């Protein structure tokens, strides 16, 4: 992860006042490079978030930024209209460059953008108490609600087929066949686990085709660390990392939150015996999510929430495994087998969810 920005260029392009004090890199995410910049103007500190987004992954930065600017304006307006106490911190505020665009491409075609840092918040990479996870559920449910009337046809698909599990599976099979990294031998058991569950990959895709599940404006990357929690109230006040906001299923958003947040271990825990689905955390999230999103969801969506959790965990597992087989070309990795470790963790969680599926269904029903 290179710290390859030129502060003078950034300052001039975004017309930033004050003296540059310094920056810190935030290494939470697997895709973007994030830097928190600090400026000082007449004794006042002002912070910004500078991000480099991968144009290898996001091939249409202009469309992506149009999506995000539109969606953030919509969320802000709604919160202002509702007099939400934290309306000034309820969404991201992007800054235009002197050329009027919300991003700029450097000579290596890297895409850079800048937005306001939000103060007095924290992010979680793991859940320490179930109340935070309840609040996460409320926040993502509310995000869904606020965008329910947003015109989804105005959004570009920033990564086509992002949660299309049939096409994800086909990509995965190709990675197995090509074995570009020559590491297939190390991943035999994981590949077998994934192939044995191919039929699951068709279930939601078929229901969309049959018109039984509605496409909504969804976030599509609902990891716990994509919520900013207020330091005082612990409420989830702002949903960030909006690059994948596009039409999708509510089940994707619900599922990915459970995958990451209700795991008793980290996404890249090496000891798989520590991995399991925490029923207590599952319940906290369902309760929070349905308290804000229930009225907007159909009966079939509610019924499929536990399956969504399993499918999103499976999908993430095949994505990590595919990247391992392709030679670590997509996700940032910290060591040689990192993607394989992540895939093992996801599959251990899938296996545990399979055992707990009836319990998950029972709990979900309680809050419908």
* Contact of 187 with 275, CB cutoff 8 Å: no
Q: Which two tokens stand for residue 131?
A: 């109340």
* Contact of 295 with 335, CB cutoff 8 Å: no
Query: 190 vs 241, which CB is nearer to ligand GN1?
Result: 241
Determine if 226 is a binding residue for ligand ADP (CB under 6 A): yes
Determine if 220 is a binding residue for Mg ion (CB under 5 A): no
* Contact of 181 with 324, CB cutoff 8 Å: yes
Query: 112 vs 169, which CB is nearer to ligand ADP?
Result: 112
For 25-39, give one letter per residue: b (16+ CB within 10 A) or e: eeeebbbbbbbebbb
Question: Using CB atoms within 10 A of its CB, is residue 10 exposed (0-12), middle (13-18) or buried (19+)?
Answer: buried
Question: 291 to 330, contacts with ligand ADP by CB under 6 A?
Answer: none
* Contact of 248 with 218, CB cutoff 8 Å: yes
How many other CB atoms are there within 10 angstroms of residue 171's CB atom?
A: 15
Q: Which two tokens stand for residue 313?
A: 């965990």
Determine if 313 is a binding residue for ligand GN1 (CB under 6 A): no
Question: 170 to 229, contacts with ligand GN1 by CB under 6 A?
Answer: 221, 223, 226
Determine if 55 is a binding residue for ligand ADP (CB under 6 A): no
Q: Where are the beta strands (DSSP E) in 106-251?
A: 111-116, 121-122, 216-218, 227-230, 236-239, 246-248
* Beta-ladder partners of 50: 35, 114
How many Cα atoms occupy the beta-carbon half-sphere of 134 within 13 Å?
10
Determine if 328 is a binding residue for Mg ion (CB under 5 A): no
Query: 58 vs 134, which CB is nearer to ligand GN1?
Result: 58
- Supply angle C-alpha 256, 262, 265, rounded to 5: 110
Determine if 118 is a binding residue for ligand ADP (CB under 6 A): yes
How many Cα atoms occupy the beta-carbon half-sphere of 180 within 13 Å?
14
Q: Which two tokens stand for residue 103?
A: 């991003």
> C-beta of 11: minimal distance to Mg ion in Å?
25
Query: 28 vs 186, which CB is nearer to Mg ion?
Result: 28
Relative orientation angle of helices 279-293 and 130-146, to the nearest 10 degrees? 30
Question: 265 to 304, contacts with ligand GN1 by CB under 6 A?
Answer: 267
Instruction: Determine the interface stretch with ligand ADP among 9-17, 29-37, 155-163, 335-343 (rule: CB under 6 A).
Output: 29-37
Spatial separation of the C-alpha atoms in residues 315 and 170, rounded to whole Å:
12
Q: Give me the torsion for CA of 229, 253, 162, 348, rounded to 10°.
A: 90
Query: 222 vs 226, which CB is nearer to ligand ADP?
Result: 226
Determine if 240 is a binding residue for ligand ADP (CB under 6 A): yes
Question: 67 to 96, contacts with ligand ADP by CB under 6 A?
Answer: 92
> C-beta of 267: minimal distance to Mg ion in Å?
12
Determine if 29 is a binding residue for Mg ion (CB under 5 A): yes
Residue from 30, 46, 74, 197 binding ligand GN1 (CB under 6 A): 30
Determine if 241 is a binding residue for Mg ion (CB under 5 A): yes
Determine if 136 is a binding residue for ligand ADP (CB under 6 A): no
Determine if 29 is a binding residue for ligand GN1 (CB under 6 A): yes
Nearest Cα residue to 244 out of 42, 63, 2: 63
Query: 29 vs 137, which CB is nearer to Mg ion?
Result: 29
**What, of ligand ADP, ligand GN1, Mg ion, none, does residue 267 touch, CB below 5 to 8 Å by kind?**
ligand GN1
**What, of ligand ADP, Mg ion, ligand GN1, none, does residue 244 touch, CB below 5 to 8 Å by kind?**
ligand GN1
Instruction: Determine the interface stretch with Mg ion among 27-35, 143-151, 176-184, 287-295 (rule: CB under 5 A).
Output: 27-35
Residue from 244, 276, 278, 345 binding ligand GN1 (CB under 6 A): 244
> C-beta of 158: minimal distance to ligand GN1 in Å?
8
Q: Which two tokens stand for residue 355?
A: 């055992």
Contacting positions for Mg ion (CB under 5 A): 29, 226, 241
> Interface residues with ligand GN1 (CB under 6 A)?
29-31, 221, 223, 226, 241, 244, 256, 267, 316
| Binding residues for ligand ADP (CB under 6 A) | 26, 28-29, 31-32, 34, 49, 92, 115, 117-118, 121, 123, 225-226, 228, 240-241
């Amino acid at each position: 992860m290179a710290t390859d920005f030129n502060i003078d260029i950034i300052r001039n392009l975004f017309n930033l006042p004050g003296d540059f004090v310094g920056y810190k890199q935030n290494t939470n995410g697997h895709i973007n490079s994030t830097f928190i910049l600090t400026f000082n103007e007449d004794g006042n500190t002002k912070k910004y978030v500078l991000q480099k987004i991968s144009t290898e992954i996001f091939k249409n930065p202009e469309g992506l930024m149009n999506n995000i600017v539109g969606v953030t304006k919509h969320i802000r307006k709604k919160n202002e209209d509702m007099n939400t106490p934290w309306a000034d911190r309820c969404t991201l505020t992007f800054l235009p460059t002197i050329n009027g665009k919300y991003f700029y491409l450097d000579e290596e075609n890297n895409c850079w953008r800048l937005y306001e840092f939000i103060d007095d918040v924290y992010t979680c990479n793991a859940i320490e108490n179930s109340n935070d996870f309840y609040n996460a559920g409320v926040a993502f449910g509310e995000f869904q609600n606020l965008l329910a009337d947003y015109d989804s046809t105005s959004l570009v698909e920033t990564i086509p087929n992002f949660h299309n599990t049939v096409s994800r599976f086909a990509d995965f099979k190709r990675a197995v066949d090509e074995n570009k990294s020559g590491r297939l031998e190390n991943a035999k058991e994981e590949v077998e686990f994934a192939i044995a569950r191919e039929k699951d990959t068709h279930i939601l895709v078929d229901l969309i085709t049959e018109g039984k599940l509605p496409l909504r404006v969804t976030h599509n990357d609902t990891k716990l660390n994509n919520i900013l929690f207020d330091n005082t109230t612990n409420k989830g006040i702002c949903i960030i990392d909006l690059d994948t906001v596009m039409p999708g299923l509510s089940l994707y958003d619900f599922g990915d939150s459970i995958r990451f947040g209700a795991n008793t271990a980290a996404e890249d825990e090496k000891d798989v015996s520590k991995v399991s689905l925490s029923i207590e955390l599952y319940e906290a999230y369902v309760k929070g999510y349905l308290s804000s999103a229930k009225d907007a969801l159909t009966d079939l969506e509610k019924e499929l929430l536990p399956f969504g959790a399993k499918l999103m965990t499976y999908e993430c597992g095949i994505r990590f495994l595919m990247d391992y087989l392709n030679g670590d070309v997509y996700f940032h990795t910290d060591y040689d087998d990192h993607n394989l470790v992540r895939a093992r963790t996801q599959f251990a969680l899938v296996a545990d969810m399979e055992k707990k599926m009836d319990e998950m269904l029972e709990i979900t029903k309680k809050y419908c």
